[in-house]
């Protein structure tokens, strides 16, 4: 009987230790998940801010290219007129 009581006591002690370890593990996991969620939000905000800055820069380059294209088109139009006029004078 005393032998069984000793075994039961050790078994109860082992069960309590296992429950305590499981509780500590759960608390640590909860803490880590909360930290990871907070860090991920910050990373997402930084990525979104970088993408917005890149988009603004691309739109600026697009505007510059459109302006340069319009200027080049106007210059080509004038050159065509001058060449046509020069050819017309040479043929006359």
**What's the half-sphere exposure (Cβ side, CA atoms, 13 Å) at 10?**
5
Q: Where are the beta strands (DSSP E) in 1-92?
A: none
32-52 tens-digit pLDDT: 988 887 777 666 777 888 899
CA distance 49 to 56: 11
Global pTM? 0.46
Residue 62's pLDDT band, with cuts at 50, 70 and 90, is: very high
Q: Name the DSSP letter for residue 42.
A: H
Task: Report the pLDDT value the prediction gives residue 23, as an integer from 0 to 100.
Answer: 94
State mean pLDDT over 6-28: 91
CA distance 40 to 46: 10
């Amino acid at each position: 009987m005393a032998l069984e009581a000793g075994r039961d006591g050790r078994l109860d002690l082992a069960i309590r230790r296992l429950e305590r370890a499981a509780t500590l593990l759960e608390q640590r996991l909860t803490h880590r998940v909360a930290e990871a969620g907070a860090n991920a939000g910050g990373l997402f905000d930084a990525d979104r801010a970088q993408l917005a800055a890149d988009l603004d820069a691309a739109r600026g380059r697009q505007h510059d290219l459109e302006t340069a294209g319009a200027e080049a088109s106007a210059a080509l139009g004038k050159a065509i007129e001058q060449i046509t006029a020069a050819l017309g004078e040479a043929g006359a």
